[in-house]
Amino acid sequence: MKFDKPVANGPCWVEVGTPDPAAAERFYGDLFGWRAETDSREEMGGYTIAYLGHLPVAGLVPLGEESQPVAWFVTFAVADVDATVEKVKSAGGSVVFEPGDVPDMGRFASVADPQGAGFHLWQARGFEGAGLLNAAGSLGWVELLSRTPERAVDFYTTVFGWSVNASEHYTHWGIDGTDFGGMVRMDDKFPPEVPPHWLPYFAVADVDATAATATDAGGSVLMEPTSVPDGPRIAVLRDPQGAVFGVYLEGAEG
Looking at the structure, do residues 33 and 100 belong to the same domain, yes or no? yes
Half-sphere exposure for 166 (CA within 13 Å, toward CB): 11
- Single out the residue in 70, 98, 124 at which a domain terminates: 124
Looking at the structure, do residues 118 and 156 belong to the same domain, yes or no? no
| 4 occurs within a structural domain | no
Looking at the structure, do residues 194 and 228 belong to the same domain, yes or no? yes
Neighbours of 47 (CB within 10 A): 18
Half-sphere exposure for 151 (CA within 13 Å, toward CB): 13
| 132 occurs within a structural domain | no
Looking at the structure, do residues 153 and 230 belong to the same domain, yes or no? yes
Buried b (16+ CB within 10 A) or exposed e, 175-213: beeebbbbbebbeeeeeeeeebbbbbbbbbeebeebbeb
- Helices 207-216 and 21-32 cross at an angle (nearest 10°) of 150
Local structure of 89: helix, strand or coil: helix
Half-sphere exposure for 223 (CA within 13 Å, toward CB): 16
Looking at the structure, do residues 144 and 233 belong to the same domain, yes or no? yes
Cβ 248 vs Cβ 201: under 8 Å: yes
Looking at the structure, do residues 114 and 150 belong to the same domain, yes or no? no
| 254 occurs within a structural domain | no
Spatial strand order in the sheet of 178-185: 163-166, 171-175, 178-185, 139-146, 197-204, 244-249, 233-238, 220-227
CA distance linking residue 244 with residue 171, whole number of Å: 21
What is the reported pLDDT for 253?
58
What is the reported pLDDT for 207?
98
Cβ 16 vs Cβ 69: under 8 Å: no
What is the domain extent for residue 120?
Answer: 11-124
Looking at the structure, do residues 116 and 16 belong to the same domain, yes or no? yes
| 103 occurs within a structural domain | yes
Cβ 207 vs Cβ 247: under 8 Å: yes
Q: What is the count of structural domains for the chain?
A: 2
Looking at the structure, do residues 112 and 200 belong to the same domain, yes or no? no
Looking at the structure, do residues 29 and 104 belong to the same domain, yes or no? yes
Instruction: Say which CATH number the domain at 51 has.
Output: 3.10.180.10
CA distance linking residue 100 with residue 122, whole number of Å: 10
Phi/psi of residue 86, nearest 5 degrees: -65, -40
- Single out the residue in 124, 156, 171 at which a domain terminates: 124
Looking at the structure, do residues 168 and 114 belong to the same domain, yes or no? no
What is the reported pLDDT for 103?
87
Looking at the structure, do residues 108 and 144 belong to the same domain, yes or no? no
Half-sphere exposure for 6 (CA within 13 Å, toward CB): 25
Among candidate residues 6, 7, 4, the one with its CA nearest the CA of residue 129: 6
| 144 occurs within a structural domain | yes
| 18 occurs within a structural domain | yes
Mean pLDDT by 10 residues, the chain (254 residues): 89 96 96 91 80 97 83 98 98 97 94 97 96 96 96 97 89 93 93 94 98 98 93 96 96 65
Looking at the structure, do residues 118 and 152 belong to the same domain, yes or no? no
| 5 occurs within a structural domain | no
- Single out the residue in 124, 158, 185 at which a domain terminates: 124
